[in-house]
Structure 1
Amino acid sequence: MAGRIPQNFIDDLLARVNIVDIIDGRVKLKKTGKNYSGLCPFHQEKSPSFSVSPDKQFYYCFGCGAGGNAIGFLMEYERLEFPQAVEEVAKLVGVDVPRDEAQEQRHSEHKAQYHILDETTSFYQNQLRSHPTKHIAVDYLKSRGLSGQIAQTFGIGFAPVGWDNLLKALGTSEERKDLLERSGMLIRHEEKDSLYDRFRERIMFPIRDMRGRTIAFGGRVLGDEKPKYLNSPETDTFQKGRELYGLYEARKLTPKLERILIVEGYMDVISLAQYGITYAVATLGTATSAQHLERLFKSVPEIIFCFDGDAAGRKAAERALETTLPIIKDGQEARFLFLPEGEDPDTLVRKTSKEAFEEHLSEALELSEFFFRYYSENHDLSSIGGRANFSTQALPNIQRMQTSLRQQMMLDRICELTGLTLEQINTTINLTQSSQINEETEKAEPHRPTFRQSRPTPATIIKHTTTLCSHLVSLLLHHPELAQKAPSSIDLAELSDPQADLLCKLLTHLQHRPNQSIGTLIIDWNDDPELRTHLLQLSEISRLDPVLNGDANQLFDEAWQRLTQRLQESQLSRLQKKPLSALTNDEKKLLSELLIRK
């Protein structure tokens, strides 16, 4: 089962749909031999590196490594969750998605929550138009310079004073009251065992998901009460660490979304949009998370963080830098903008203009520039001690980055500033802090690669990555049926090959699923937290060893023979190092067999 949808249904669905039909309506494709090619929709490029194979029903970008089947493409391109992507493909094929009883129940509950939240949005909007005290909210919005049109675009509403306005209007049955409570709109008074409205006497901002459905609300007080902003609690349909206010509107209002501006509050997003800067979003009472950034970088190649110029803004920028470093890849950019003291995006755009504000954006510091300014500002780089202290602080943070040209260039910059080679720095400075950070990063993000202490070039990266095991993995990705040629169980742990574990897992998976396609493999592994780590390895191997010339069976047999020889040599070396008296009976038997073969 993948996502609780029967696997045989997913296999049948992928067999019936033509991936070219799915992608061609969204990406301009051109026939190139057996395949189709075009400009990749997931990163900026000038020459086509995006390929679609109708034979394998699979897409792959040789530029950024994106790849998958029809379901995976819709998940990435349309920002859909797995069940919704399956639904979309099923609609095209003309079949219904089967659900078990528990899943059908959850689907029904979520649908009811979306519906009641849409009703709540309409209720608050009606209060802004017709409530006897609407002038309080209208006057406030006018004082902030908002037009009626922009208020309508963002669905702004009004929660009037009172404890049960929403409860009375929409909670007309116990079932609906329960829905409102589970959606975060009502609060239960435990002692009185009664319900009351969560939002009272506030301007209401509906928070929408990528499909435009209301999933939560933010409310701003009209006076000086605390808290100034109040968000809905997390629910089954709303997780604040993933959602961004204004992202739906940014995609809707911006014809070609090329960058995203991250600001602090709802009013900043709305005011900027009113002045034509329609690509701003805001986090929901939390710092920008890795999930936020990964989601945004799938939509745009550039993110600009906008901060106040005070100490708090500086602190927020430091946190954003730390969050961005492990996420960013080549082809992506993060910039850091500090506004004049006492200004925020809302006030600044009103005092100046769209053009003047965007001029500020053009002055935003690129990630590496901010990085070196931040880490060098408290150190005297003209002194030996200052350069040493700077290196011990900066290097561990560069270590957290993904292997990339950007990382290499930042390492080169440290060498320029210190006058040392990276080898000298690593051998003379105690990088205990680096090791600790790396261990923590691997626990939290096990898929993040670490950089070697030697300075890798693209050539050495390929040399280290395209190993015998990775070559076999690449063969299996292109020809899954070859897995049946390998033994049903083999332990490659003794091989000093970084892809040995991946090869074992892939062989086991394909031997149990002989008709597995590369597309359904990615769906299966993405649904398994333990196997998800290997997806990036698969992507990297496909990128570095994408073209296989010659007979696949012969290539596999030759590679497997070399692998077996290496394994036997490794086993023999290990056993011969032990005293004969220390060997078990099984080890003695294996040693005898290996010596005979040799």
Structure 2
Amino acid sequence: MSLPPGFLDELRTRTSLAQVVGRKVLWDNRKSNQGQGDWWAPCPFHQEKSASFHVKDREGYYYCFGCHAKGDAISFVRETENVGFMEAIEILATEAGMQMPARDPRAQEKADERSELADVMEAAVRFYRLSLKTNAATQARAYLAKRGLSEADQDRFDIGFAPEGNALIGHLTGQGVSMDKLLASGLAAKPDDGRSPYDRFRGRIMFPIRNAQGRCISFGGRSMDPEARAKYLNGNETILFDKGRSLYNHGPARVACGKGQPLIVAEGYMDVIALSLAGFEATVAPLGTAVTETQLQLLWRISPEPIIALDGDKAGIRAALRVIDLALPMLAPGQSLRFAVLPEGLDPDDLIKAKGAQAMQEVIEGARPLIDLLWNREVEGKVFDSPERKAGLEKALREATARIEDRLLREHYEAEIKQKLWQFFRQKPQAQGAGANGQGGKRPFTPQSTFGAGGKGRFGKFVPPAVPTPEAMASALVGGDAAYADYLREAVILATLLVTPQVILSFLAPLEGLDLTTDDHRAILSSLLRHAEEEDAEALRAQVLQDVGAVALEKLMSLSHVTIAPPVRKPGNAEMAQQCVSEELAKLRAERGHRSELAVALDSIREDQGDDEGLTWRLGQSAEALGRATRSEAEDTAEYDFGKNGAPMRRNERNALDTLLSNISLSKRK
């Protein structure tokens, strides 16, 4: 049914998310701040003892730092009560004292029809299940046994068998099901020439396709006849089933993902079953088609970063590239895809049988971000031995990133692409000639350019240094390895929180939004936030050790920068820890903001033919913020120089800038 404009807004206004969630959880009063509408509890969607489930009552949304479940009051009722959208609306409206709008008679009639067809589908499931145990299904049972599926496995997925002939029609019509319903459900088909209807599925192993609520909406059938026109056949589209809007194993995968498993997208029914039986229960598959926009949205509702698992053959790679083009306009901060490519010639079932579940786990853990596949698509197997070809590469990548609609994310992609291009074209050359590859001078391009970063080329001609990207120039201007400096600051913050956990709750907001440099640091921070209410340092260390492992923890605590940090040398000193974390967070923000300003200003300088007026002004503005965070450095005026317009700059920045601007000017004249 449709809802009148404003109904949902009023419902959300009248509904207290804390009250809705409070029926299912026990609040942690030590961590919660009732006056600010800030509530914490153990997550109702996965098993845990710590309070990692965060409810912001005033904003009306929740988020779990353990299983990443998120949503509003409507989604919470849907997930915990296992009801549909309209049913959740009715529950909340009743509690809020709001009267539901009158139902459209036509909509009610359609809902009743859907319910009746769902009952027909369940009757078909039972028939196919029984048919699998008959003599007619001997070959089908042998096939399933060969694939390693026990009877218990078959029961778990309701696998059945469709006999030859019109056995299903005869069975269901004998139980009073009309032919109209059999045709409407897609179980029967009617020839165009006017002949009698027939069973759509015959001589096939049957896989029920269920929606997120567990109702059977269609079937997929694998033929036992090697000469069949289609090895796999899905049901036709009906009022129950739209294959572009459905996922195989949707409901069980959503539950498993809510318990912390990564969401995996496989290619077919048997892949899903093999992965699920091997412990990867959060696995789904599209239904005989390439992934659609709607299916991507369904995936992102389950997990912010699904892993697309593809066979390592050409077809699998082509499928990945199609998904990239589809996904680019839909990407958003915290909403992307990763790609796990299996060894060539193996599907998930083959890999698990040959090398065990651990081999599959390694493939999943090695999943690559979308930007890596986008980059590889444009460079692999191509030669970039001329300015025109290099410009063509940059243009193709720019056109791809331009399709990202979210501005902030698009800027991050553009910055990453610029960095990749800079690294790609700045490497030293390999030996030239035909000896290495038999292709003469036309060798496949490797991440190495023809000339070095200046000096003489092959023919003795001077080649000016390549102009680096603004990001690389910004890193050069601030001096040293900026990423490593960030890494050390992060390490001090994490180690301080680990040895003095009673201060963690004071920094929840900035820590939740902290962008860390390594996976180890991200894992440690996630663990600290999950156990933020734990004030005993030894108990917290044990929890973090269990979450991230000994290697990551030992690596953190053994850094010399960490071992000499005062709050780490004096664990338990809350005042010292509070001051240290506050200062380090401020420095991180200031340094990163300063580098961002440098990158933006340098980009504009390159476009403005080397005039540094705007650059020094931008640097002066960001230097003020940086000086406030690193006061001891800012007070030393001897370290500062001034641009044409009087804006302050660090002296090392001024000197490096002059050199870089000269290189830019020289390159442009060439």
Please indicate, yes or no, whether the TM-score normalized by the shorter chain is above 0.5.
yes
Relative distance call for 1:96 and 1:270 in structure 2 (3 A) is farther
Deviation at 1:139, TM superposition (A): 0.9
Match of 1:114 in 2: 118
Relative distance call for 1:198 and 1:393 in structure 2 (3 A) is same
Relative distance call for 1:177 and 1:386 in structure 2 (3 A) is same
**Secondary structure of the corresponding residue to residue 401 of structure 1:** coil
Give yes or no for the alignment of 1:411 onto 2:409. no
**Secondary structure of the corresponding residue to residue 302 of structure 2:** coil
Amino acid at match of 1:289: T
Amino acid at match of 1:4: S
Match of 1:513 in 2: none
Q: Which of 210, 232, 235 is the equivalent residue of 1:232?
A: 235
Match of 1:272 in 2: 275
- Per-residue CA deviations over 1:39-59 (Å, capped at 9, x if unaligned) read 9999xxx98875113xx9x44
**Secondary structure of the corresponding residue to residue 314 of structure 1:** helix
Where do 1:470-481 residues align within 5 Å?
Answer: none
- Per-residue CA deviations over 1:220-245 (Å, capped at 9, x if unaligned) read 00131220000011111111111111
Match of 1:212 in 2: 214
TM-score after normalising by structure 2: 0.56
Give yes or no for the alignment of 1:285 onto 2:283. no
Match of 2:334 in 1: 331
Match of 2:372 in 1: 369
Q: Which of 9, 21, 24 is the equivalent residue of 1:23?
A: 21
Deviation at 1:169, TM superposition (A): 0.8
Match of 1:196 in 2: 198
Give yes or no for the alignment of 1:296 onto 2:299. yes
**Secondary structure of the corresponding residue to residue 348 of structure 1:** helix
Amino acid at match of 1:223: D
Bigger RCO (CA 8 Å, 6+ sep): 1
Match of 2:355 in 1: 352
Relative distance call for 1:290 and 1:7 in structure 2 (3 A) is closer
Relative distance call for 1:229 and 1:13 in structure 2 (3 A) is same
Q: Which of 85, 96, 103 is the equivalent residue of 2:107?
A: 103
- Per-residue CA deviations over 1:362-391 (Å, capped at 9, x if unaligned) read 222221222212212244456422321111
Amino acid at match of 2:185: S
Amino acid at match of 2:301: K
Deviation at 1:327, TM superposition (A): 2.2
Q: Which of 217, 221, 224 is the equivalent residue of 1:222?
A: 224
Quick one: distance in 2 between partners of 1:255 and 1:194?
Answer: 47
Quick one: distance in 1 between partners of 2:219 and 2:595?
Answer: 48
Quick one: distance in 2 between partners of 1:333 and 1:7?
Answer: 32
Amino acid at match of 1:355: Q
Quick one: distance in 2 between partners of 1:412 and 1:381?
Answer: 21
Q: Which of 179, 187, 191 is the equivalent residue of 1:185?
A: 187
Match of 1:51 in 2: 56
Amino acid at match of 1:266: Y
- Per-residue CA deviations over 1:172-222 (Å, capped at 9, x if unaligned) read 488632112111111113433521110001000000111111011000001
- Per-residue CA deviations over 1:327-358 (Å, capped at 9, x if unaligned) read 23233442222222221111111111111111
Give yes or no for the alignment of 1:141 onto 2:144. yes
Quick one: distance in 2 between partners of 1:35 and 1:197?
Answer: 58
Contact 2:254/2:302 (<8 A) preserved: no
Relative distance call for 1:232 and 1:28 in structure 2 (3 A) is farther
TM-score after normalising by structure 1: 0.62
Deviation at 1:88, TM superposition (A): 3.9
Quick one: distance in 1 between partners of 2:10 and 2:407?
Answer: 39
Contact 1:302/1:333 (<8 A) preserved: yes
Sequence identity (%): 34
Relative distance call for 1:250 and 1:60 in structure 2 (3 A) is closer
Deviation at 1:254, TM superposition (A): 5.9
**Secondary structure of the corresponding residue to residue 259 of structure 1:** coil
Structure of larger gyration radius? 2
Give yes or no for the alignment of 1:313 onto 2:316. yes
Quick one: distance in 2 between partners of 1:290 and 1:382?
Answer: 38
Quick one: distance in 1 between partners of 2:157 and 2:594?
Answer: 48
Amino acid at match of 2:116: A
Match of 2:35 in 1: 33
Relative distance call for 1:48 and 1:16 in structure 2 (3 A) is closer
Quick one: distance in 1 between partners of 2:70 and 2:310?
Answer: 35
Quick one: distance in 2 between partners of 1:405 and 1:221?
Answer: 48
Deviation at 1:77, TM superposition (A): 8.0
Query: Which is further off, 90-99 or 222-231?
Result: 90-99
Quick one: distance in 1 between partners of 2:411 and 2:26?
Answer: 34
Contact 1:208/1:214 (<8 A) preserved: yes
Relative distance call for 1:273 and 1:70 in structure 2 (3 A) is closer
Match of 1:464 in 2: none
Relative distance call for 1:368 and 1:38 in structure 2 (3 A) is farther
Match of 2:153 in 1: 150
Amino acid at match of 2:38: Y
Relative distance call for 1:385 and 1:378 in structure 2 (3 A) is farther
Quick one: distance in 2 between partners of 1:89 and 1:458?
Answer: 48
Quick one: distance in 1 between partners of 2:255 and 2:213?
Answer: 10
Relative distance call for 1:47 and 1:105 in structure 2 (3 A) is closer
- Per-residue CA deviations over 1:226-272 (Å, capped at 9, x if unaligned) read 20000011111111111111122223456614421111110111112
Amino acid at match of 2:56: S
Where do 1:60-99 residues align within 5 Å?
Answer: 70-71=73-74, 74=77, 82-89=85-92, 98-99=102-103
Relative distance call for 1:11 and 1:378 in structure 2 (3 A) is closer
Match of 1:4 in 2: 2
Deviation at 1:68, TM superposition (A): 8.2
Match of 1:515 in 2: none
Contact 1:379/1:386 (<8 A) preserved: no
**Secondary structure of the corresponding residue to residue 325 of structure 1:** helix
Q: Which of 115, 123, 127 is the equivalent residue of 1:123?
A: 127
Contact 2:61/2:70 (<8 A) preserved: yes
Contact 1:166/1:197 (<8 A) preserved: yes
Q: Which segments of 5 or more consecutive residues in structure 1 lack a partner in the other structure?
A: 424-455, 461-598
Deviation at 1:151, TM superposition (A): 1.1
Relative distance call for 1:265 and 1:8 in structure 2 (3 A) is closer
Amino acid at match of 1:211: Q
Match of 2:394 in 1: 391
Quick one: distance in 1 between partners of 2:71 and 2:303?
Answer: 20
Deviation at 1:90, TM superposition (A): 5.3
Amino acid at match of 1:315: R
Contact 2:310/2:320 (<8 A) preserved: yes
CA RMSD of aligned residues (A): 3.8
